[in-house]
Amino acid sequence: MAFSYAAKRQVNSSQIHSIPPNGEERFKNPFETPRQRDGQEVLKQNGRRAGEVGGKFRRMEVGQLAETENIATVNLRNEVSRSLLGSSKRSIFEILNDMDI
């Protein structure tokens, strides 16, 4: 039956399984990629790794927690960011001495 159906439609054998018996194709979401249709997680989009913008990693905002960071490194990074952006002239060693690491 499938062979005669394919012969009538003039398609090759690799397309038989992609054509439903009623001849209708399933609804296609215009926003999904072929990997998402296959059920696989998309790690690369437009040739870049997830999290990259323009080939560079996104800049972490103050207070944002990355996956691999713990609270001590976040506190240290935030304190360094504040000291560099603010008017305080504290050195990195003074900041480390004040923190409980």
Nearest Cα neighbor of 38 from 29, 49, 51, 48 is 29
Instruction: At 98, list the tokens.
Output: 């004040």
- pLDDT tens figures, 38-82: 444 444 444 544 444 444 445 555 555 555 556 677 777 777 777
Q: What are phi and psi of 45, to 5 degrees?
A: -130, 130
pTM given for the model: 0.20
Tally of CA atoms within 13 A in the half-sphere of 22 that contains its CB: 3
The secondary structure element, H or E, covering residue 49 is strand 48-49
